[in-house]
Amino acid sequence: MSDENPPIEPGGTPETGPEPGKGGMLPVHPDALRADREAAGPDAVRQPADTPAPQPKRTLGQAFLDELWADNAFTVTLLAIVLAAIVGAVLMVLGDEPTRQQWAYFFYQPGKTLSASWDLVSSAYGNMFKGSIIDPDSFNRWIWGVDNVTWQRVMYPISETLTFAAPLIFTGLASALPFRAGLFNIGGQGQAIMGAIGGATVGFAFSAPGATAWILSTLAGALFGALYGLIVGVLKARTGAHEVIVTIMMNYIALLFLGWYILQKGIHDPNRPDAISKPVHPQAMFPKIFGPTATDAGLRANLGIVLALLAAWGVSWLLRRGTFGFELRAVGYNQDAARTAGMSVGLTLALTMGLAGALAGLGGVTMVHGDARALSADVVGQIGFNGILVALLGRVKPWGVVWAGLLFGAMTAGGLRMQADPGISTELVTVIQALIVMFVAAPMLVKAIFRLRKSPSSAAHVGLAQG
């Protein structure tokens, strides 16, 4: 095309240009285009007009600030704990009669009313901290050598937290692992009972020197729990029986079997009139992690917490690195796709429930060989059901379960200290635990209350998944 004949734009002529209302563009003379190309140079890269400008890479500090008030898992969980603590504080005020009566004079004495409420709540939560982490008064007296306070007394709250947390970590893992395979294990309670039965039976039936006794008892408890969980897995794989119904029924079977087993000749303690078994041999008890004299000082923390941490590490490695862990997650995502890929879905489900039963059985062993020393009707307490809450709070991730178990263990240990205040009961701790899980299970509620923005990292994950 020559310079004398410029291009004609739609809706116009060479003389008049585009007509108004025709939507055309003004003509660009070729000399102007040629001048622009020469100024840009031969190596210029032509960018499409709609290409967005590259975004600068975020620094570590910027990423932290962006995630600090976003709807990521950590922030939502932390704010759920805060919300539960606030609701718990309201319940404390409503449950304490003097403080509740003071609120009748709120508009007459607002400062006194708020002060009384603050004193009650701060004292209760302060006692929870002192009973679960450390008592600052005891620590200061130990540091300055006052009143002959020993380091064992300073470590007592942490020891109690670790003691309560160990079985919860085991049963939390027993609920979290099947969830990754698409199963809901409600039978942690029954599996823990069977593990306690197996471990205690070996513990008081055989006496072995050194660490052999507690090692054999631990293996027996894991085996009993694994076999009890394997029954559920086989029924699920072979008949399609729903694991929730089966595990609930097997919880009752295990509980009733425990009551019958304790009263049998050779199992029942002949020196006791109540329903309790013979005590396990001292060699079968778990060693105390604070030293052999820890029992005399009241420090109950034992090897169970170490085994629980090792179990969490093992489950984490299995899910991330192990072949069986890959198959487990694949079955949890899509059973049909896993079956098409050549995986044995039924075998994976059965082994998953067996492994979950072994973990719950170790929780039962920890209860008996850690402190209980003998079988009784309530030897495992409610660790199986509480393990479900721990798994949900930990978002069914192994290390999340560890932190959730430590939190619940601290709340349980601190709840005993909270009773020092009149009007505060340990049942309040259970309410707070339930509220934490409820708020974690309803993240949209937490986001709406605190007006959390969208997390950049979660948006990136969604983009990668869609891309």
Considering the domain boundaries, does residue 232 fall inside one?
yes
Considering the domain boundaries, does residue 42 fall inside one?
no
Higher pLDDT, 26 or 344: 344
Domain hosting 429: range is 74-132+422-447
Mean pLDDT of 374-381: 93
- CB neighbours of residue 221 within 10 Å: 32
Higher pLDDT, 316 or 465: 316
Considering the domain boundaries, does residue 142 fall inside one?
no
Q: Is the pLDDT of residue 227 over 70?
A: yes
For residue 463, name the pLDDT band (cuts at 50, 70, 90): very low
Provide the domain count of the chain.
2
Q: Read off the pLDDT of residues 153-198 as tens digits, 9 standing for 90 and up.
A: 899 999 999 999 999 999 999 999 999 999 999 999 999 999 999 9
- CB neighbours of residue 227 within 10 Å: 16
Considering the domain boundaries, does residue 304 fall inside one?
yes
Give CA–CA dist 326/319, Å, rounded: 6
Mean pLDDT of 36-54: 57
Mean pLDDT of 338-352: 95
* Closest by CA position to 305, among listed 154, 159, 134, 132: 159
Q: Read off the pLDDT of residues 248-272 as tens digits, 9 standing for 90 and up.
A: 999 999 999 999 999 999 999 999 8
Q: Is the pLDDT of residue 65 over 90?
A: no
Letter string b/e over residues 335-372, b meaning 16 or more CB atoms within 10 A of that residue's CB: beebeeeebebbebbbbbbbbbbbbbbbbbbbbbbbeb
Look at residues 413, 432, 458 and tell me which one is the last residue of a structural domain.
Answer: 413
Residues 256 and 376 reside in one and the same domain: yes
- Looking at residue 460, its pLDDT comes to 42
Residues 217 and 272 reside in one and the same domain: yes
Percent of the residues in the chain that have a pLDDT greater than 70, as a whole number: 82
Give CA–CA dist 26/49, Å, rounded: 18
Give CA–CA dist 263/99, Å, rounded: 49
Task: Please tell me the least confidently modeled range out of 290-304, 386-400, 425-439.
Answer: 290-304
Residues 266 and 333 reside in one and the same domain: yes
- Looking at residue 83, its pLDDT comes to 93
For residue 465, name the pLDDT band (cuts at 50, 70, 90): very low
- Looking at residue 462, its pLDDT comes to 37
Residues 268 and 294 reside in one and the same domain: yes
For residue 466, name the pLDDT band (cuts at 50, 70, 90): very low
Considering the domain boundaries, does residue 186 fall inside one?
yes
Residues 365 and 278 reside in one and the same domain: yes
- Looking at residue 260, its pLDDT comes to 96
Measured in degrees and rounded to the nearest 5, phi and psi for residue 12 equal -145, 180
Q: Is the pLDDT of residue 110 over 70?
A: yes
For residue 53, name the pLDDT band (cuts at 50, 70, 90): low
Q: Mean pLDDT for the chain?
A: 85
Q: Read off the pLDDT of residues 126-158 as tens digits, 9 standing for 90 and up.
A: 999 999 999 999 999 999 988 888 888 899 999
Mean pLDDT of 290-294: 70
- Looking at residue 461, its pLDDT comes to 40
